[in-house]
Amino acid sequence: MRYMMLIYSRETPDPLTPEQDHQVRSGHRAVMQETAQRGIFLGAEPLAPTSTATTVRVQDGRTLVSDGPFAETKEQLAGYYILECANLDEAIEWAARIPTGCKGQEGCIEIRPMPGLTKRPAGPADQAAVNH
């Protein structure tokens, strides 16, 4: 089953020291390499900081756009991994190795199972593809 690992970290205005940065990067590199070797790595991405975020919502039929993340929580989503694991315990083991100090301070990893989309409905586009 696929699990998404959401990395929550406290954003600090100060950049990481070279040592911290190196530690974080090598931590990520190790997890990515090992999971890739086992064929369970399905993706990982850092996200740009919340200062660059924009939130969109609909109110009374109008689309409202506002600056910033959807919630001003102390810890913010810094990035994610997607790994194929046999069960939750395996997912937990990998999650425990993912560095969370990406934004400067120790954070945590939220693990969510990914159920996947339901089957794609056959539509005209697919029909067209079939006919050609």
Partner 1 sequence: MADVRSIAEAVFREQSGRIIAGLIRISGSFDMAEEALQDAFASAMDAWAARGIPANPGAWIMTAAHRKLIDAVRRERTRSAKQDSLAYETASAGISIDVEHASENPMTFPDDRLRLIFTCCHPALNVLAQIALTLRTLGGLSTPEIARAFLMPEPTLAQRLVRAKRKIQEARIPYEVPCGDRLAPRLAAVQGVIYLIFNEGYSATFGPELVRGDLCAEAIRLGRVLCELLADAENLALLALMLLHDSRRNARVLDGALVTLDEQDRSLWDRKAIVEGLELVETALRCGPVGPYQLQAAIAALHAQAATPAETDWLQIAALYQRLLAMNPSPVVALNHAAAIAMSGALEDGLRRIDELERAALLGDYYLLHSARADLLRRLGRMEVALAEYRKAAALTKNAIELRFLERRIAEVGGACGTSC
Partner 2 sequence: MRYILLIYSKEVPERRNYDAHWRLIAEAERRGVFVAAEPLEAPSGAATVHLENGRSFVSDGPFAETKEQLAGFYVLDCQSQEEALEWAARVLAACGGTQKVEVRRMPGMGARSSA
Q: Does 86 bind partner 2 (CB under 8 A)?
A: no
**Region at 64 (left for phi over 0; alpha for psi -120 to 50; beta for the rest):** beta
Q: Does 123 bind partner 1 (CB under 8 A)?
A: no
E strand segments, the chain: 2-11, 41-46, 54-59, 62-67, 75-84, 104-114
DSSP designation for 71: S
Q: Does 58 bind partner 2 (CB under 8 A)?
A: yes
Among 86, 125, 129, 130, interactor with partner 1 by CB under 8 A: 86
Footprint (CB under 8 A) of partner 1, residues 90-119:
92-93, 111, 113, 115, 118-119
Phi, psi of 35 (to 5 degrees): -70, -35
Alpha-carbon span 31 to 9, nearest angstrom: 18
Q: Does 34 bind partner 2 (CB under 8 A)?
A: no
Among 125, 128, 130, 131, interactor with partner 2 by CB under 8 A: 125
Among 14, 45, 67, 89, interactor with partner 1 by CB under 8 A: 89
* The two three-digit tokens of residue 7, written as one number: 């990395």
Among 88, 105, 106, 127, interactor with partner 1 by CB under 8 A: 88
Residues forming the site for partner 1 (CB under 8 A): 1, 86-89, 92-93, 111, 113, 115, 118-119
